[in-house]
Amino acid sequence: MLSACIKPFTPNIDGAAASKVVVSGRITNVEGFQTIVLSKSIPLNDKVYENLSGCSVSIWDENDHEFVLNEFEEGKYHVWMNGEDLIIGRAYHLIITTPEGEKLVSSPDVLTQVGDANLPGFKLDSIYNGAYNYYTRGIQFFVDVRGNENTSPYYLFEIDATYEHHAKYAREWYYNGSIHHIYPPDSSLMYCWTTFRVPEIVTLSTENLSANEFNNFPLYFVPLNRDYLTFGYSLLLRQVGLSREAFLYWEMVRLNNNQNADLYSKQPVDTEGNLKNTTNPEKEVLGFFSASAISEKRLFIEPMPTNPYPDCVPWPLDRLGLREISRTDYPAFLMNNPFGTYFLIWLPNACVDCSFDHGSTQKPEFWPY
């Protein structure tokens, strides 16, 4: 009989090689604050995200107009730019001076026009999971892309999703060494909303098509086994027009992110951005500074039937009763008995607090329901 063991492999990457400046940000055609985020890449075993503070950051246009950014949070810099400063067809570049005196410069990127975004559509669909050999039912979102000869054929789609979610029970009875009764019951933590950026990178090029158009372009999939669609759902589609250089960068990032981590996966491609360290050219700078026009559309979906995995699982207190509850779990809420008392059933936090894991009780201004 043969036996073997698996020895974990840890790449030998020294701190200097692992720590690189990362630049994230762009300017758009929308008047307002233009934001750049600076950080440092971290070694594989390091869990702490390192912001890059104390830099001098400026955006320059092709006419040598300078826009100086101020640091408003650690590693985050912004500047207000008026509409007359954000001109389609004009080139912009970024200059950063680090606290160590190193100068980082981006190549110019031309602010590119984009076609008007259309309202996304959706349909009931299923996706196949080959690893587990089953189909997941859900909603597939798609969009019809319409551009022309004067708008960019290169697209990046950013999607912000917002959904309503509920706690199942109001807070009425709780135990913290003795029983307490809240009357009237507290329902302030029963209704929440969560907004998040869909993590998938979605790009499209119509360069080799007969027209700058694409019908039913798939955006992303929302499964019915989660509670995203149960109480209402909103999708904000941000259609971003890219230069060819910016598109190639985001396409490389997309390909790297979509690689399956199996034995026969393709090797990651080198994701080269458009920034250089002119002080020490041997030091790589990660990221891409772009100038992009954007167009937005928001879609609302009425509540629909779903079959989500339960977040709230009440816990019967059997043999030991209230003694099963640890002090670290105080206050422990109990299920209400309609006859004016309580059951010996413990309600975990997810049952009585919709914001326990995520979300806010503040309804978004755009929420229609």
Both 56 and 107 in one domain: the answer is yes
Question: Among 294, 292, 295, which residue's Cα sits nearest to residue 91?
Answer: 292
Domain span holding position 288: 15-115+242-293
Q: Which residues of the chain have pLDDT under 50?
A: 4, 6-7, 9-10, 13, 44, 47, 260-268
pTM: 0.86
Strand, coil or helix: what is 345? strand
231 inside domain: yes
Please report the pLDDT score of residue 267 as a whole number: 47
Beta bridge partners of 34: 79
4 inside domain: no
Both 70 and 216 in one domain: the answer is no
Residue with tokens 């798609």: 142
368 inside domain: no
Contact 103, 279 (CB under 8 A): yes
Both 55 and 146 in one domain: the answer is no
Both 202 and 332 in one domain: the answer is no
Number of domains composing the chain: 3
pLDDT digits (tens, 9 = 90+) for 193-213: 999 999 999 999 999 999 999
Both 107 and 157 in one domain: the answer is no
Please report the pLDDT score of residue 256 as a whole number: 86
6 inside domain: no
301 inside domain: no
Distance between CA atoms of residues 362 and 303, nearest Å? 19
Both 219 and 322 in one domain: the answer is no
Give the number of residues written for the chain: 369
Contact 30, 86 (CB under 8 A): yes
Both 126 and 203 in one domain: the answer is yes
360 inside domain: no
Please report the pLDDT score of residue 265 as a whole number: 41
Helix or strand holding residue 355 (H, E): none
Please report the pLDDT score of residue 175 as a whole number: 95
364 inside domain: no
Both 184 and 311 in one domain: the answer is yes
- The residues, ordered by sequence, that sit 6+ positions from 323 with a Cβ below 8 Å of its Cβ are none
Q: Amino acid letter at 193?
A: W
Distance between CA atoms of residues 92 and 26, nearest Å? 10
Both 183 and 213 in one domain: the answer is no
Both 134 and 270 in one domain: the answer is no
Both 185 and 48 in one domain: the answer is no
CA distances from 303 to 197, 231, 357, 363 (A): 21, 5, 21, 16
Both 125 and 234 in one domain: the answer is yes
The last residue of a domain, from among 268, 293, 318:
293
196 inside domain: yes
CA angle 290, 29, 161 (to 5 degrees): 80
